[in-house]
Amino acid sequence: MNGKTAPESGPEPKTDTSAVLEVDACGLFCPEPVMLLHNRIRDLAGGGQLRIIATDPSTTRDIPKFCLYLGHELLEQQRRDGKYSYLIRKKADEA
């Protein structure tokens, strides 16, 4: 042996929700970002995640209300460089 150890393997990659659907609503104004969100979230399976990026400040009010009203989970909300980012988990599919 030369005294070197084999590199450790990293953690197992996540397979359940590792893919996040990205939606760009920059340049759109109320009600367009929420309409786009509504149309795109329908394509996701229950528990799927979607990130929407917008420039309209009204999304700070509209997107949290959208999630609350429809039962989706708002996981993250950020503002940076004049853009608003929201990470949303779709509610579980109903049987």
> Does residue 30 carry a catalytic annotation?
yes
Compute the distance between CA of residue 23 and CA of residue 57 in angstroms, rounded to an integer: 16
Pick the catalytic residue: 30, 74, 75, 87?
30
* Residues facing 83 on adjacent strands: 80
Distances (CA, A) of 51 to 9, 11, 22, 25, 78: 30, 24, 5, 10, 11
Active-site residue list = 30
